[in-house]
């Protein structure tokens, strides 16, 4: 199956804040990472190796967040039920690849706009698709593999409905829909990654794996505390930082033995 790829050739306050953060990174010493294919793959490989302790720290933090959120049954039961419903569809019925490809390419588009680029063309079919854009970088290329667009849309629609129509009585259905949408993202992303993806090969396998892993865990470290309200977001980020520091300390002790 031919899978979506990139060809190189609007906005709520949260998105605006995120865009400002990205621009700050671009202005910093890390800006060279955002220069797209001009960064040699061997440099990205070294960066990926250096980020492995950060991956371990993120996994440790997620474990603590999930453990602390264990008692949120009114959230976890519908979330897992929604994920299970989608899993049945995924295993027994034809896979809705056009919907997935559309979301994949639309995610590229949104991240291109986030970085101030322009989209010249977008094509979507059930067999694959592509976007023609004015600029790219590793986040634009890899965003569809860690940014759960449909889950974000579900959250945005419910947030709007709760603000305008007071949808608090529909929380169970909201969690059910989020679980199904996130399971949709995980299963179909895994399904497509079984084949050769130009998004991945253009960035290097290890670097892509690290960024996708960190992106997915970052989404969970941000989303689980907000959904369950059992852990503060700053605590989750603090656990991530602490876990990463512990891994670096262990490596330093092992290296200097």
Secondary structure of 15-27 as H, E, C letters: HHHHHHHHHHHHH
- Residue 226 tokens, joined: 């907000």
Separation between Cα atoms, residue 8 and residue 2, nearest integer Å = 18
pLDDT < 70 stretches in the chain: 1-37
User: Cα dist. 27→20, 102, 196, 231 in Å?
Assistant: 11, 32, 33, 33
Q: What kind and span of H or E run contains 97?
A: helix 97-114
Q: Is residue 157 part of a domain?
A: yes
Looking at residue 37, its pLDDT comes to 53
Go through 111-133 and write b for each residue having 16 or more CB atoms within 10 A of its CB, e for each that does not.
Answer: bbbbbebebeeeebeeebbbbeb
C-beta separation of 221 from 54 below 8 A = no
Q: What is the pLDDT of residues 204-221, one digit of tens each?
A: 999 999 999 999 999 999
Q: Is residue 183 part of a domain?
A: yes
pTM above 0.85, yes or no: no
Separation between Cα atoms, residue 22 and residue 15, nearest integer Å = 10
Q: Is residue 223 part of a domain?
A: yes
Go through 23-46 and write b for each residue having 16 or more CB atoms within 10 A of its CB, e for each that does not.
Answer: eeebeeeeeebbebeebebeebee
Looking at residue 246, its pLDDT comes to 93
Q: What phi and psi, each to the nearest 5 degrees, are found at residue 132?
A: -100, 120
Looking at residue 34, its pLDDT comes to 57
Q: Is residue 29 part of a domain?
A: no
Q: Could you give the number of structural domains in the chain?
A: 1
Q: Is residue 40 part of a domain?
A: no
Range of the domain at 164: 5-24+55-247
C-beta separation of 55 from 213 below 8 A = yes
C-beta separation of 47 from 38 below 8 A = no
Q: Is residue 105 part of a domain?
A: yes
Q: What is the DSSP letter of 181?
A: H
Q: What phi and psi, each to the nearest 5 degrees, are found at residue 131?
A: -125, 140
- 43, 55, 35, 39: which is closest to 210 by C-alpha? 55
Looking at residue 130, its pLDDT comes to 86
Q: Is residue 32 part of a domain?
A: no
Q: Is residue 113 part of a domain?
A: yes
Looking at residue 35, its pLDDT comes to 55
């Amino acid at each position: 199956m031919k899978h979506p790829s990139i060809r190189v050739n609007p906005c709520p306050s949260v998105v605006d804040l995120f865009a400002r953060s990205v621009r700050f990174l671009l202005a910093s010493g890390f800006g060279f990472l955002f220069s797209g294919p001009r960064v040699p793959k061997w440099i990205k490989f070294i960066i990926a190796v250096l980020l492995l302790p950060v991956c371990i720290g993120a996994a440790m933090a997620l474990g603590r967040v999930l453990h602390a959120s264990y008692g949120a049954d009114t959230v976890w039961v519908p979330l897992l039920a929604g994920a299970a419903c989608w899993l049945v569809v995924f295993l027994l019925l034809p896979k809705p690849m056009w919907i997935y490809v559309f979301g994949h390419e639309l995610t590229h588009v949104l991240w291109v706009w986030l970085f101030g680029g322009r989209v010249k063309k977008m094509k979507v079919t059930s067999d694959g698709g592509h976007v023609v854009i004015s600029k790219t970088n590793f986040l634009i290329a890899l965003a569809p593999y860690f940014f759960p667009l449909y889950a974000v849309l579900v959250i945005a629609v419910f947030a709007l409905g709760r603000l305008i129509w007071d949808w608090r009585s529909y929380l169970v259905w909201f969690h059910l829909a989020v679980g199904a949408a996130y399971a949709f993202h995980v299963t179909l992303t895994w399904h497509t990654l079984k084949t050769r993806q130009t998004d991945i090969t253009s960035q290097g396998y290890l670097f892509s794996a690290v960024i996708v892993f960190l992106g997915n865990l970052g989404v969970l470290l941000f989303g689980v505390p907000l959904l369950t309200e059992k852990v503060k977001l700053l605590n989750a980020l603090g656990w991530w930082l602490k876990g990463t520091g512990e891994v670096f300390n262990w490596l330093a002790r092992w290296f200097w033995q």
